[in-house]
């Protein structure tokens, strides 16, 4: 048998669902809002950082380009470079003068602390002059890949400066293995404004000293690409090689900003913003890890777990409180109903602050009072009634019926079905009142039918709504006078015997007028009665003046009362076919 949930268990379950659902929804909302705000703020900050660094690069490079143009356009510098490009054997008196002039002009680069050194490379692709650092005079720049790329750019430079990619500085005598970027400015031949036999001023630049120093502290990392390869790519924290390649592809696809999702649980999502410098055409790429979002997710998750644990404690406390304030009175009420069902009518119902519990208590007290009053009334009437009348009254006040009704109320109380208890108690009270007050007085047929319907409705609670019934009575017959309590015993007999082995059944009560008589027909679709048994019952109804304890006592009682009040011409008659239902006809005189 399936175990029914207690009210306390249901309360805990519902409270848990409400609490947990609320906390989870709240946590998800906080997480989503935090993610959006964090990503939005990160984008604004990253965009501002990239733009600020572009502004710095453009500013410094523009200034450096202007100074470099001044240097390479100086007549003394051009004369010195042209001299070195044209002669095989150097006149040191002339060269000493030229070197002094070139060194003086190269000193203009001192205003740029990010220029680490400068080299003038002649047409023979070797160093002829230098600034700051000493250069190996035999170093062949022409054999270096990065220098060859520079030579390939000069046709597009039109005398303007352009920039190399990262390259090593092994041409310096005190080379420390560092890499640098060089700004390259062509030095035109003094005799002709063309690029034949030209030289170059290479100004080595430390980009890291130009870029904002505090970006890494804020989680922002900067890289520079020329569109095909990285020009400036410091060691990236929390960024994998695969992510760098993906960033490079997306940048080449003209994406200004995008979110790069981490593929593994160790990879953080990356927010990427890029913009282009005006002086170099490079792409400055800002990369920021969104690990803060994941940290927020973890924080919110831990918050949800903590709240769920706290909710569990709260639910336990609240359930205990509810058990004391609501469930304990209900359990006490159930205990009182159990005592009543066992015949103890001395039960006292304590008043409760709950309106529903108090209503149940008052209803139960009224029911007990009515039952006690009825019992006393029976004792008084027993002294005056004939044997047949006493048996009839005992049948009307069926203790088994009331016990079943109380058991039904008990079951409804356990399930907390307050409305059904109220309805059942009200119906039971009406039945008790009807049966006790002047039980032998004739009443209108409509009143008797209503009482019978109350009985069926109470029984339907027991049978869980499996009794289907209909009552048909014409308007002109509703006020016919009939004895009290003559239809209900017949209905009880039909429910007890007719539906005995059925899951459900149909009952019809109809009233017909035949001449000067009124016939009340109670029909059920139950198992029916065998033909020989029908004959025996009808013979007892017609001839006998006593009660058989083994037969249908209810039918015999009603039959005896009708005959005693209206004569032998009236009474009950049974029509039945085995397995096809039964009809009991109550024949009465038409009295208005």
Q: Is the pLDDT of residue 356 over 90?
A: no
Q: Is the pLDDT of residue 480 over 60?
A: yes
* pTM, full prediction: 0.47
* Percent above pLDDT 90 for the chain: 20
Determine which of 321-330, 404-413, 472-481 has the lowest per-residue pLDDT on average.
321-330
Cα separation, 583 vs 169, in Å, equals 119
Query: Please, what CATH class does the domain formed by 74-209 belong to?
Result: alpha beta
Listed ranges 141-145, 211-215, 328-332; the one with the highest mean pLDDT: 141-145
Which pLDDT value is given to residue 212? 67
Cα separation, 8 vs 13, in Å, equals 9
Confidence of residue 296 (pLDDT cuts 50, 70, 90): low
Q: Is the pLDDT of residue 292 over 80?
A: no
Helices (H) and strands (E) in the chain, counts: 15, 18
Closest listed residue to residue 527, CA positions, set 588, 577, 462: 577
Confidence of residue 522 (pLDDT cuts 50, 70, 90): very high
Q: Is the pLDDT of residue 1 over 50?
A: no
Tokens read off for 415: 């399930």
Q: Give pairs for 310-316: CB < 8 Å, separation 24+.
A: 311/16, 311/19, 311/20, 311/23, 312/16, 314/19, 315/12, 315/15, 315/16, 315/19, 316/12
Q: Is the pLDDT of residue 342 over 80?
A: no
Q: Answer whether 574's CB lies under 8 Å from 533's CB.
A: no
Domain layout of the chain by residue ranges: 74-209, 469-592
Give 135's DSSP letter. Answer: B
Q: Is 19 helix (H, G, I), strand (E, B) or coil?
A: helix
Closest listed residue to residue 203, CA positions, set 177, 226, 172, 180: 180
Q: Stretch 484-491: mean pLDDT, rounded?
A: 90
Query: Please, what CATH class does the domain formed by 469-592 belong to?
Result: alpha beta
Determine which of 173-187, 232-246, 256-270 has the lowest per-residue pLDDT on average.
256-270
Q: Is the pLDDT of residue 333 over 80?
A: no
Determine which of 114-128, 208-222, 566-580 has the lowest per-residue pLDDT on average.
208-222
Q: Answer whether 115's CB lies under 8 Å from 130's CB.
A: no
Closest listed residue to residue 106, CA positions, set 201, 174, 186, 188: 201
Cα separation, 354 vs 83, in Å, equals 113
Q: Answer whether 130's CB lies under 8 Å from 107's CB.
A: no
Q: Helices marked H in 133-267 — which ranges?
A: 145-157, 241-252
Residue 186, C-beta contacts closer than 8 angstroms, at least 6 positions apart: 72, 154, 157, 159, 195, 198, 199, 200
Confidence of residue 549 (pLDDT cuts 50, 70, 90): very low
Tens of pLDDT along 251-286?
Answer: 776 778 888 887 765 677 888 898 888 888 888 888
Average of per-residue pLDDT values in the chain: 79
Cα separation, 3 vs 114, in Å, equals 83
Which pLDDT value is given to residue 260? 81
Closest listed residue to residue 481, CA positions, set 437, 444, 447, 441: 444
Instruction: Please list the residues that pair with 185 across neighbouring strands.
Output: 201
* Percent above pLDDT 70 for the chain: 80
Tens of pLDDT along 50-103?
Answer: 888 889 888 988 999 999 999 999 999 999 998 988 888 889 889 999 999 999
């Amino acid at each position: 048998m399936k175990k029914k949930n207690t009210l306390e268990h249901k309360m805990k379950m519902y409270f848990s669902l409400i609490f947990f659902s609320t906390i989870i929804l709240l946590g998800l909302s906080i997480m989503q809002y935090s993610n959006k705000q964090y990503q939005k703020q990160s984008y604004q900050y990253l965009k501002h950082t990239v733009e600020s660094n572009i502004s710095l690069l453009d500013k410094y490079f523009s200034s450096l380009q202007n100074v470099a143009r001044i240097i390479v356009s100086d007549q003394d510098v051009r004369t010195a470079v042209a001299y070195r490009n044209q002669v095989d054997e150097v006149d040191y008196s002339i060269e000493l003068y030229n070197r002094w002039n070139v060194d003086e002009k190269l000193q203009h680069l001192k205003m740029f602390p990010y220029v680490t050194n400068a080299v003038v490379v002649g047409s023979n692709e070797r160093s002829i002059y230098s600034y700051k650092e000493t250069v190996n005079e035999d170093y062949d720049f022409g054999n270096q890949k990065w220098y060859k790329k520079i030579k390939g750019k000069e046709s597009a430079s039109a005398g303007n400066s352009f920039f190399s990619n990262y390259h090593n500085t092994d041409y310096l005598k005190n080379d420390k293995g560092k890499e640098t970027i060089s700004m390259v400015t062509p030095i035109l031949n003094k005799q002709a404004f063309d690029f034949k036999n030209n030289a170059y001023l290479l100004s080595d630049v430390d980009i890291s000293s130009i870029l904002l120093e505090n970006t890494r502290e804020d989680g922002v990392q900067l890289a520079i690409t020329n569109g095909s390869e990285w020009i400036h790519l410091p060691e990236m924290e929390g960024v994998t090689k695969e992510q760098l390649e993906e960033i490079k592809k997306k940048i080449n696809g003209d994406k200004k900003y995008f979110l790069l999702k981490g593929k593994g649980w160790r990879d953080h999502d990356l927010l990427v913003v890029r913009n282009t410098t005006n002086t170099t055409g490079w792409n400055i790429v800002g990369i920021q890890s969104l690990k803060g979002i994941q940290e927020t997710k973890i924080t919110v998750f831990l918050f949800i777990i903590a709240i769920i644990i706290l909710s569990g404690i709260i639910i336990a406390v609240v359930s205990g409180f509810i058990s004391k304030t609501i469930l304990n009175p209900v359990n006490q009420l159930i205990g009182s109903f159990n005592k009543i069902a066992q015949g103890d009518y001395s039960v006292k119902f304590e008043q409760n602050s709950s309106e529903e519990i108090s209503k149940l208590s008052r209803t139960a007290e009224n029911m007990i009072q009515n039952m006690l009053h009825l019992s006393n009334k029976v004792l008084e009437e027993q002294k005056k009634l004939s044997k047949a009348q006493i048996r009839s009254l005992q049948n009307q006040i069926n203790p088994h019926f009331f016990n079943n009704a109380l058991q039904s109320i008990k079951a409804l109380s356990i399930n907390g079905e307050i409305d059904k208890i109220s309805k059942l108690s009200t119906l039971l009270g009406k039945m008790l009142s009807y049966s006790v007050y002047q039980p032998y007085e004739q009443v209108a047929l409509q009143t008797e039918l209503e009482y019978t319907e109350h009985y069926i409705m109470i029984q339907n609670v027991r049978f869980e709504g499996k009794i289907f019934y209909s009552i048909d009575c014409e308007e002109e017959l509703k006020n016919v006078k009939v004895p009290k309590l003559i239809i209900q015993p017949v209905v009880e007999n039909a429910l007890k015997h007719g539906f005995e082995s059925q899951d459900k059944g149909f009952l019809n009560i109809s009233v017909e007028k035949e001449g000067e008589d009124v016939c009340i027909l109670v029909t059920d679709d139950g198992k029916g009665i065998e033909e020989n048994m029908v004959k025996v019952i009808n013979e007892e109804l017609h001839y006998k003046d006593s009660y058989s304890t083994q037969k249908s006592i209810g039918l015999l009682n009603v039959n005896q009362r009708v005959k005693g009040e209206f004569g032998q011409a009236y009474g009950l008659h049974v029509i039945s076919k085995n397995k096809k239902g039964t009809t009991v006809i109550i024949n009465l005189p038409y009295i208005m």
